[in-house]
């Protein structure tokens, strides 16, 4: 990708929280790029730091107790990390917006749909009420809400989960942002609705060229939707690749473990138990020395306990944070 094609460039994002036991770094040196109109996946288990990464990019991390810092977060030429809170606020909802996981609790129960979905327009543009209403109606049609006119003045609890999520997406896109961050947008929905929402998001990307950061723990969604993938573990990116490379040649043991643990319907039924990665996600306040994954890694070498690996370039934009691929570094 050339520089002109890169919409978002994150370098060394770090987010820390003050806790009773001292500061905990939930996001530790995350760097990645999002190309214009590309869908980039951020995949990991709960506690990997993917949601906090998204909130950090949006400037939504509550400031006590959290602190966000980065070398740079360049969105279309502007370094978000250097903006003050008011300037960042002006970008939210307009140039970069976010869709959350739980559509029921993420919508205000005492406001009508048109009031909420139209609010970004009210905040960032000078449109009057009628114009806003028109735009909301259009967006409802675009996201595929049936009988859109009837759905303008209802309250969130009067809609089904799928419709609410579509409305949330409408709300996120109504100001035509360049970047949409979707935090597990389909986790709370049933499988059929999930498929519909994902198709919708891809269609929207086609239409408006909006770039999407797709946060999920579901590798299936990654496979279906994403162009590039970042795998996160314990606050760090451990593998970064385009989606084909990731599935064809998973290079980090964690990624391999994730892929192996997907039960395959076509496998012979000789397996007695589900494959899973042994061990548990580490407590961020008490990280193991060396590579953060080494206690659970079947390929761990002596050096893994001592030094933390950097991201090694494997060619074609494929990177992995593992001593297995960094023979020179391991010898040093």
- Whichever of 185 and 309 has its CB closer to other proteins, that residue is 185
**Is residue 260 within 8 Å of 297, Cβ to Cβ?**
no
Rounded to whole angstroms, how far apart are CA atoms 116 and 166?
13
Nearest to 24 by CA among 47, 43, 42: 47
Residue (of 141, 189, 198) closest to 164 by Cα position: 189
Token readout for 100 is 């959350």
Question: What separation in angstroms does the CA of 116 have from each of 106, 170, 301?
Answer: 11, 10, 54
Spell out the residues 6+ positions from residue 184 whose beta carbon is closer than 8 angstroms to its own: 51, 101, 215, 216, 217
127 lies in the binding site for other proteins (CB under 8 A):
no
Q: Which of 45, 76, 79, 119 binds other proteins (CB under 8 A)?
A: 119
* Nearer to other proteins (CB atom), residue 11 or residue 124: 124
If one asks whether residue 155 binds other proteins (CB under 8 A), the answer comes out as yes
Of 24, 152, 171, 215, the one binding other proteins (CB under 8 A) is 171
Report the nearest approach of other proteins to the CB of residue 94 (Å): 6
| Residue number, 159 or 237, with CB nearest to other proteins | 159
Smaller CB separation from other proteins, 182 or 234: 182
Contact between 102 and other proteins per CB under 8 A: yes
Residues 124, 133: Cα–Cα separation, whole Å: 15
CA-to-CA distance for 99 and 172, rounded, in angstroms?
Answer: 6
98 interacts with other proteins by CB under 8 A: yes
Which positions from 48 to 67 touch other proteins by CB under 8 A, shown as an x/- string?
----------x-x-------
Task: Work out which of 41, 44, 66, 93 binds other proteins, going by CB under 8 A.
Answer: 93
Binding residues for other proteins (CB under 8 A) = 58, 60, 89-94, 97-98, 100, 102, 105-111, 119-120, 123-124, 154-155, 157-159, 168, 171
């Amino acid at each position: 990708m050339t520089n002109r094609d890169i919409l978002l460039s994150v370098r060394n994002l770090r987010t820390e929280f003050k806790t009773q036991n001292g500061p905990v770094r939930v996001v530790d040196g995350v760097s990645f790029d999002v190309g214009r109109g590309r869908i980039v996946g951020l995949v990991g288990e709960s506690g990997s730091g993917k949601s906090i990464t998204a909130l950090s990019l949006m400037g939504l991390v509550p400031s006590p107790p959290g602190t966000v810092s980065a070398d740079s977060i360049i969105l279309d030429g502007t370094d978000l990390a250097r903006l003050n809170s008011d300037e960042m606020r002006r970008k939210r909802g307009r140039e970069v917006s976010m869709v959350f996981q739980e559509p029921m609790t993420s919508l205000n129960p005492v406001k009508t749909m048109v009031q909420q979905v139209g609010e970004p327009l009210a905040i960032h543009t000078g449109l009057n009420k009628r114009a806003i209403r028109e735009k909301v109606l259009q967006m409802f049609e675009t996201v595929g809400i049936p009988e859109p006119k009837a759905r303008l003045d209802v309250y969130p609890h009067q809609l089904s989960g799928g419709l609410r999520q579509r409305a949330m997406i409408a709300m996120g896109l109504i100001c035509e942002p360049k970047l949409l961050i979707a935090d597990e947008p389909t986790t709370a929905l049933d499988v059929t609705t999930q498929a519909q929402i994902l198709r919708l998001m891809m269609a929207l990307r086609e239409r408006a060229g909006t770039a999407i950061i797709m946060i999920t723990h579901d590798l299936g969604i990654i496979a279906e939707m994403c162009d590039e993938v970042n795998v996160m573990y314990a606050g760090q990116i451990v593998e970064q690749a385009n989606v084909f490379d990731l599935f064809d040649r998973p290079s980090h043991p964690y990624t391999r473990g994730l892929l192996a643990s997907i039960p395959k319907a076509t496998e012979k039924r000789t397996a007695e138990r589900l494959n899973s990665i042994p061990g548990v996600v580490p407590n961020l306040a008490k990280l193991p020395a060396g590579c953060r994954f080494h206690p659970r890694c079947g390929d761990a070498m002596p050096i893994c306990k001592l030094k933390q690996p950097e991201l090694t370039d494997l060619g074609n934009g494929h990177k992995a944070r593992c001593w297995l691929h960094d023979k020179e570094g391991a010898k040093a």
